[in-house]
Amino acid sequence: MEWLKRLFGNHEEHEPLLSRQEDLPGIGEVRIAYVVDCMGAMCPRPQLLTKKVVEQIAEGEIIEIVSDNPAAVEAFPWLAETLACTCLLTVRERDRWRIYLRKGLGSEAAGNNG
């Protein structure tokens, strides 16, 4: 039931669920600062959780959103633009998608993530 607490809890700040190095295809080695776990969440919950995290991270940091909701995944490129983020990559896995967003647009956000 931990995922329910993360999904519906009233947290002032999001703690990183995981911070790790990741080799993203076509992008290279990056540091993932936060993972936004949206498994089982219906729209607009994934977008709201992502917005909350983006507001708390530094310019240039990268987050990974994990979702099993096709409608939510389709909305992330638009959401990224709205949040002044760059949508780096969307990876389809068997039962989920992983979406990678970098806070900031274009070259301004291309700082050191390693």
- Give the alpha-carbon dihedral of 75, 78, 79, 83, to 10 degrees: 170
Percent with pLDDT over 70 in the chain: 76
Instruction: List domains and CATH numbers for the chain.
Output: 2-109 (3.30.110.40)
- Write out the H or E segment, with its range, that includes residue 102: strand 97-103
Does residue 43 have an active-site annotation? yes
Cα torsion angle, 33, 38, 44, 49, sign: negative
pLDDT tens digits, one per residue of 51-60: 999 999 999 9
pLDDT tens digits, one per residue of 33-52: 999 999 999 989 999 999 99
The mean of the pLDDT values for the chain is 83
Q: Using 70 as the pLDDT threshold, list the residues of the chain that sit under it.
A: 1-18, 107-114
What are the b/e assignments for 45-74, b being 16+ CB within 10 Å?
bbbebbeebbeebeebbbbbbbbebeebbe
The pLDDT value given to residue 9:
52
The pLDDT value given to residue 19:
76
